[in-house]
Amino acid sequence: MKRRKTSHRRSIILITGVLLTMIIVLGSHSLSLLEQRDFLMQQEADLRLQIEQQEERSQAILDFEEFIGTEEHIRQVAEEELDLVDPDAIFFRPVD
Q: Which amino acid is at 49?
A: L
Burial 1-27 (b: 16+ CB within 10 A, else e): eeeeeeeeeeeeeeeeeeeeeeeeeee
Residue 96 scores a pLDDT above 80? no
* Angle, CA 79 vertex, CA 73 and CA 83 arms, to 5°: 150
Angstrom distance (rounded) from CA 8 to CA 75: 97
Report pTM.
0.53
Stated as kind and residue range, the H or E segment containing 25 is helix 2-68
> Tens digits of per-residue pLDDT, 12-67?
999 999 999 999 999 999 999 999 999 999 999 999 999 999 999 999 999 988 88
